[in-house]
């Protein structure tokens, strides 16, 4: 097994955004150096960027923008949670997420969950650049298809009694519905009441416009070629049912129109996202 290519591409989209779009929606200053070769070189050298990155970007630009927007949404919500004294951050399917690297001074313990091969690759990139991992970053290996978070987190110093903020970005669509349901149920079991989880998911193909369908097929074909096929698309009602059964209540479940209104309206560069994406925030129910 090799490190996740979709994780590397997501970091490349964040790095490209910071290089090119003004004003940036997110300042992921670590994405470019985390990437490693060949993507870091491709993004840095104009001729290579022109040859290899722009043709890919032209096909998937709205998803590239969404990768940035979903992180911005998450980091905004995380900041509010931290102001409200939350001190544990769990990142499911962390990939090359760099929040822990950019907030080494925050008194927040960050648990990054992902497949071991991707974690080892990322840890080597961090060690090569910084000499060591951030002191409050804990790497927790998992395969969501075989294990649930409650099996692994307690062995790494996770405090079940403390309110926790959880993010799960760009990963749900790559998992089976059984793994998604089991993960939400397990999260609700292991996180203290009032804990929140923020995540994105895609709506079914039957709801997509022709342009979105073409974009989705492009993405899906790319993921399949790289050994990361998409597995699950969900209607908002299905997602609400999964969350309810897990003991989580929906705080908000934003359609593309509301995400655009919050983050993209008023920009002069025409950045846009696909119509099939959703951003959701759910809360572990508090005792009555």
CA 44 to the chain's CA centroid: 24
DSSP H helices, the chain, are 5-20, 31-35, 39-44, 46-48, 54-83, 99-102, 116-130, 149-152, 177-190, 210-225, 236-246, 256-263
In the chain, the N- to C-terminal Cα span, in Å, equals 46
Q: What DSSP designation does 129 have?
A: H
Torsion angle (degrees, nearest 10) of CA 66, 33, 166, 79:
-80
Any contact of residue 185 with ligand SAM (CB under 6 A)?
Answer: no
Number of residues in contact with ligand SAM under rule CB under 6 A: 21
Q: Assess 202 for contact with ligand SAM (CB under 6 A).
A: no
Q: Is 280 helix (H, G, I), strand (E, B) or coil?
A: strand
**According to CB under 6 A, which one of 79, 84, 104, 143 is a site residue for ligand SAM?**
143
Tally of CA atoms within 13 A in the half-sphere of 106 that contains its CB: 19
Does position 97 interact with ligand SAM (CB under 6 A)? The reply is yes
Q: How far is CA 231 from CA 11, 224, 252, 281, in A?
A: 22, 10, 24, 21
Asked if 34 is part of the footprint of ligand SAM (rule: CB under 6 A), the reply reads no
User: Is residue 170 close enough to count as binding ligand SAM by CB under 6 A?
Assistant: yes
DSSP string, 189-249: HHSPTT-EEEEEEE--GGG--HHHHHHHHHHHHHHHHTT--------HHHHHHHHHHHTEE
CB nearer to ligand SAM: give 145 or 151: 145
CB of 176 to ligand SAM, least distance (A): 9
- Pick the piece of the chain touching ligand SAM (CB under 6 A) from 81-89, 143-151, 203-211, 263-271: 143-151
Which of 142, 149, 182, 243 is close enough to bind ligand SAM by CB under 6 A? 142
Torsion angle in degrees (nearest 10) through CA of 243, 97, 102, 183 = 30
Stretch that binds ligand SAM, among 79-87, 95-103, 214-222, 251-259 (CB under 6 A): 95-103
Q: Contact with ligand SAM (CB under 6 A): which of 69, 169, 188, 281?
A: 169
The verdict on 36 binding ligand SAM (CB under 6 A) reads: no
**Interface with ligand SAM by CB under 6 A: which range of 41-49, 156-164, 166-174, 248-256?**
166-174
Residue from 88, 109, 171, 203 binding ligand SAM (CB under 6 A): 171
174 lies in the binding site for ligand SAM (CB under 6 A): yes
Q: Should residue 140 be labelled a site residue for ligand SAM when binding is judged by CB under 6 A?
A: no
Pick from 17, 115, 163, 284 the residue near ligand SAM by CB under 6 A.
115
Q: Is residue 35 at the binding interface for ligand SAM, with CB under 6 A as the rule?
A: no
The contact set with ligand SAM (CB under 6 A) reads 4, 6-7, 10, 93-97, 114-115, 118, 142-145, 169-171, 174-175
């Amino acid at each position: 097994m090799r490190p996740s290519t979709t994780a590397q591409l997501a970091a490349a989209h964040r790095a490209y955004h910071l290089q090119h779009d003004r004003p940036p929606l997110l300042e992921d200053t670590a994405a470019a150096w985390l990437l490693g070769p060949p993507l870091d070189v491709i993004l840095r050298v104009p001729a290579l960027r022109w040859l290899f990155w722009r043709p890919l970007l032209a096909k998937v630009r709205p998803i590239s923008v969404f990768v940035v927007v979903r992180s911005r949404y998450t980091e905004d919500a995380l900041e509010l949670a931290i102001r409200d004294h939350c001190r544990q951050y769990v990142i499911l399917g962390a990939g090359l997420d760099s929040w822990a690297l950019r907030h080494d001074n925050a008194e927040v313990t960050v648990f990054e969950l992902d497949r071991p091969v991707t974690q080892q690759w990322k840890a080597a990139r961090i060690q090569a650049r910084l000499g060591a991992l951030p002191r409050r970053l804990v790497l927790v290996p998992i395969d969501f298809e075989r294990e649930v978070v409650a099996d692994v987190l307690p062995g790494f110093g996770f405090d079940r009694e403390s309110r926790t903020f959880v993010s799960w970005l760009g990963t749900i669509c790559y998992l089976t519905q059984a793994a998604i349901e089991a993960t939400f149920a397990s999260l609700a079991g292991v996180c203290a009441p009032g804990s929140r989880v923020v995540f994105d998911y895609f709506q079914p193909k039957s709801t997509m416009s022709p342009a979105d369908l073409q974009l989705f097929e492009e993405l899906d074909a790319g993921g399949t070629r790289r050994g990361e096929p998409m597995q699950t698309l969900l209607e908002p009602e299905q997602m609400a049912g999964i969350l309810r059964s897990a003991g989580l209540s929906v705080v908000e479940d934003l359609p593309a129109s509301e995400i655009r209104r919050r983050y993209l309206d008023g920009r002069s560069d025409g950045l846009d996202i696909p119509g099939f994406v959703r951003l959701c925030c759910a809360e572990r129910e508090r005792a009555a």
